[in-house]
Structure formats: C-alpha cells, structure tokens
Structure 1
Amino acid sequence: MQHLQAVMFDWAGTVVDFGSFAPTTIFVEAFKREYDFEISLEEARVPMGLGKWDHIKAVGELPEVAARWEARFGRPMQKEDIDKIYQTFMPLQVKKVGEHADLIPGAKAVIDNLREQGLKIGSCTGYPRVVLDALIPAAKANGYSPDCAVATDDLKAGGRPAPYMLLQNMLTLAVSDVKACVKVDDSVPGITEGLNAGMWTVALLLSGNEAGLTQAEFEVADEATLAAARVKAQDAFAHSGAHYQIDTIADLPAVIADIEQRLANGERP
C-alpha cells in the first residue's frame, strides 16, 4: 500500500462474536436480574455501538421500554436505575465475553493480509476497559491481536460517536493522516465515529448487530433469507453516511483495494 496506513476495527460483530450476541444477551439478563424487568433482544440491539452505560440509558428511553417501565414503577427510569443495571451488567459481561471471542469467518486471513501489505491494525469498542481486557486474551488465543485496542472509558473525552478512540489509535500507532485510515464497524454509532474522525468507513451488514444472525443461521441461510437480512441492515445504515456497505469482514479486501486506488486518484473521505 502506498497511501493507506491503518485499518481500525470494532470488536463484537465485526471481528469476533458473529451477530454481536455477547452484549445484547447480557443487557437482557441485567434488566431482568436487577429489576425483574423484561426487554427484548431487539430492543437491546437498538443503541448498539454506544458505551454500555449510555446504551442502558438509551434502551430505557425507547418509547416502548419507557412506557412499560413507567407503567411498572410509576416513574421514568432514573440515573440511579441505570447505575444499578450497569453494575449488574458489568460482572456478567466480564465473565461471559470470552465465550464470544470466536473470530468471524475470514477475519484472520483478511487481517493477516492487511499486515502483509504494511497496514497497521487498530481497534476500539463500546466495551469498557475491564471487559476489553477479558476479551483481548480470548481473541488472541483464536488468532487475533490488534496493534492497538482502545476501550470506551479509556479517554476522558468520551466514546462514540465522538472520534477520540480512533484518534488515540492514530497516536499510538503513529499514523500520520486520517484519510489514510479505514474504520470498519457493524453499528451506526461506530460509522459516525469514523466519519467524525475523517476516515473512510465500511459498514458490515450481515455479521453484526443490525442483521442479528447467528453464525449458524448465516451459514445455512438461503439467498432469500440473506437478502431480507441485508435489506434490514441497509435500512439501518441508510442515513449513516458509510462510504461502503459489505456483508462481512471477508469482503473487505476489495474495498481496501478500491480505497487505495481512490487515494491514488487524489480523492479523500
């Protein structure tokens, strides 16, 4: 590569944890354990990509959830409620995140190839540091170890959709130009983060949060099923501003080659 310098990846639903099930299932469990309050997996998915405290807050603000909460407790969800759910969520997530560290098919080959082309591998996440520290060794055992990994609570400036985690990756990796970076993510806040950083952005349609397929479902699905899941994810990303939309990380090499050519032609994100 003559122009690109680095690719920055999200974690769950992007490189590991097909379908991004580690955080979503535990959000459901945390609401149930702390308040005996039911949220659906679909509701838990809506704010995916945010930091986890903000995610809980955003779930509580969904009109359907807010109405059920007020009917149940006679008041809106408050900061103290979010704190309690978060405190229940955190040890569950730390305990179980390593169980969701399998690499998404194609991830290792793609990332190894990027490195062979001289690109640095950055990463960031909506997970807090204590969770990321549990995920990193589990992912490493499966063959993935990025050159940099920034958690949502590492920086005082805050997490997504602000660009600071990506900019910290650039500082750590000594990358000199935002337009020489690509952000790959399965959530709208993660794409917005990349755009706010001035990077090229690639949205993943089928491996992550928006489609919500398990790897097994993906592997046995017929084309009609995949097409329906693709449309669902495309609708979610329709106004995200992502430069590219692909099914999974396995489809990334063609995008990287195209971006390199566009940079050579003088284009920028």
Structure 2
Amino acid sequence: MSVKTIILDWAGTTVDFGCMAPVYAFKKAFKNKHIELTNEEIRKPMGMLKIDHIKQLLSLDQVKKQWFELYGRASDEKDVRGIYQDFEKYLFADLAENSHLKPETKQAMKKIKQLGYNIGSTTGYTKEMMEVVFETAKAEGYHPDYVVTPDEVDSLGRPYPFMIFENMRHFQNHSMDEVIKVGDTISDIQEGKNAGVLSIAVTEGSSVMGLSLEEYKQLSKEEMEQVNQQTAEIFYQQGADLCIKNLLELAELLQEQSLLQRMQIKKEKISVN
C-alpha cells in the first residue's frame, strides 16, 4: 500500500530552526524559581505536551535537590501550574519571532504537495500557541492541510499516538502503511513508533542537535556533516526508521516510492521478529 499522508512536527522540523522558542521560555520560567537548567536538560523531554515537559524537568534529581534546598519540600501541582503560567508568558512574548520557517520548508512542502500527499501535523504546543505559530508560518508560505494539538486528544500528547490517529481519521487513511511521521525530537519518534507508522527524524536544526541557525552556519562543511551524523546516531538508537538532514531530502524520498516500500517491508520484518 502506498504512502498518502505525511505528518510533520512544527518547532525544529518545519519552523524555528533549533527549536529555540520553548528552550528560552523554559529556562526563564525555571529561573524565576531560582532553578538553573542546562539546554541539554531542557531539550531531553522536548516534543511533549508542555505541562508534562515541566513535570519531567521537576523530576530530575538535581532539580529535586535544588527545589528542596530552596523551599524545604518537594514540588507539587501548584508549583507545576505556576511554572507553566510563567512558561506561557515568556513563550507567547517571543513565539511569533521564533516561528519563522526553516530554510528548506517552503520549497520542500511545495514539492510534496505537487506529488499529491496529504500534509498533516502534530505538536507539543497548545491550540492557543499553535494559532500564533500557524499564522507566522502561513504568512511565509507554509500551511499544512490539518493541525492537531494535544488539547484535541484529551491532553494525551506525545509519546501517545492519538494525534497521529486523529490525522489519520481526518485524511481517512485505511492503514498505518499509508502514513509517515516526521519530527526532530525523541518524542516524535516515540509517537510514530507507538502509532505503528514509519518514523523519520530530521537532524538539521533539530532539538536533538540543539544549535541555532546562526551557530549552525558558523560550522565548516565537515563539522556540519559530523554533527548531523552524531544526531542521526541518537535518533537511530531511539528507534527511528530513517534519518534525513532536512525536508528537501524528504521530498526526494517521496519521489522514490520504491525505497519507502522497502523500508516498510523492513519495518514489518522487525515487528514480526
């Protein structure tokens, strides 16, 4: 059965090279509580529903230790809500500015649409956040056929597969074999694997790579190749079926349906074993 629907992530995949907007907002929100986090710590749960992301960060051993030293108790739901409110405030302040298209997105999406594919999307952002991101992306020439946020699946975001299933319902896909999930975080890969669809990771500008566009451009070609390879190795260790550098490579793949079919056969064999 041929692929019909491509489900793309947003920040780090199609917009916001390096997935910078949420990193800045998380860092500021936790700093308000006098908790210092590294970018690496912040990025590890990236792609999850943002309030779940905060809970994951609060569960880190060093954060629990800092919190107890500061407040003499463990964090609770009230603390989670307070940090989330600060996170939202900081995110919305810079979200439009940090939602510009990645360099290849517009050209790649034009090619994929010309090939006749449905373009769906999933995200860790809420509906209100996505309204900002969507309008910025649309103004720059990218608008997928369908957008699903965690709010629309009872807040059961990644790594749950329900946003993918909602895309499949909308596009009336008959089988998981008709769908490909593409993203830039470990949560994206987990979401795709849990849904039983082909899961492809984008390395360039991904949250896993963790470099801004300016930082990436300062690298030599050899350094770029090295950091993309290192990022791909992380994704493969987490179960990605394939890694691509950017969305133009995805468009090229979609022109080669035979390659995708071979990958699906390989995936099916792995599932059986």
What is the TM-score normalised by the length of structure 1?
Answer: 0.92
Distance 1:75 1:50 in 2: 26
Query: Paired residue for 1:75?
Result: 73
- Indicate if the aligned counterparts of 2:177 and 2:264 stay in contact, CA closer than 8 A: no
Query: Secondary structure of the residue that 1:75 maps to in structure 2?
Result: coil
Query: Secondary structure of the residue that 1:100 maps to in structure 2?
Result: coil
Query: Paired residue for 1:133?
Result: 131
Query: Paired residue for 1:12?
Result: 11
- Listed one character per residue, the Cα deviations across residues 122-159 of structure 1 (whole Å, up to 9, x for unaligned) are 00100111101111111100111010001122211611
Distance 1:31 1:266 in 2: 42
Q: Does 1:106 align with 2:130?
A: no
Query: Paired residue for 2:220?
Result: 222
Query: Paired residue for 1:170?
Result: 168
- Indicate if the aligned counterparts of 2:35 and 2:63 stay in contact, CA closer than 8 A: no
Distance 1:120 1:197 in 2: 18
Query: Paired residue for 2:113?
Result: 115
Query: Paired residue for 1:90?
Result: 88
Q: Does 1:256 align with 2:254?
A: yes
Query: Paired residue for 2:270?
Result: none
What are the residue-to-residue correspondences of 1:38-49 with 2, within 5 Å?
Answer: 38-49=36-47
Moved more, 88-97 or 177-186: 88-97
- Indicate if the aligned counterparts of 2:254 and 2:260 stay in contact, CA closer than 8 A: no
Query: Secondary structure of the residue that 1:154 maps to in structure 2?
Result: helix
Shift of 1:42: 2.2
- Indicate if the aligned counterparts of 1:105 and 1:250 stay in contact, CA closer than 8 A: no
- Indicate if the aligned counterparts of 1:9 and 1:184 stay in contact, CA closer than 8 A: yes
- Indicate if the aligned counterparts of 1:60 and 1:66 stay in contact, CA closer than 8 A: yes
Query: Secondary structure of the residue that 1:183 maps to in structure 2?
Result: strand
- The one-letter code of the counterpart of 1:118 is G
Which sections of structure 1, spanning at least 5 residues, go unmatched? none
Query: Secondary structure of the residue that 1:99 maps to in structure 2?
Result: coil
- The one-letter code of the counterpart of 1:90 is E
Which sections of structure 2, spanning at least 5 residues, go unmatched? 268-273
- Indicate if the aligned counterparts of 1:13 and 1:19 stay in contact, CA closer than 8 A: yes
Distance 1:213 1:37 in 2: 23
- Indicate if the aligned counterparts of 2:49 and 2:155 stay in contact, CA closer than 8 A: no
Query: Paired residue for 1:23?
Result: 22
Query: Paired residue for 2:235?
Result: 237
Moved more, 132-141 or 64-73: 64-73
Query: Secondary structure of the residue that 1:267 maps to in structure 2?
Result: helix
Aligned length: 267
What are the residue-to-residue correspondences of 1:187-226 with 2, within 5 Å?
Answer: 187-226=185-224
Shift of 1:176: 2.5
Change (3 A) 1:129 1:265: closer
Query: Paired residue for 2:271?
Result: none
Query: Paired residue for 1:159?
Result: 157
Query: Secondary structure of the residue that 2:150 maps to in structure 1?
Result: coil
- Listed one character per residue, the Cα deviations across residues 22-55 of structure 1 (whole Å, up to 9, x for unaligned) are 111100111123x233222222111101110010
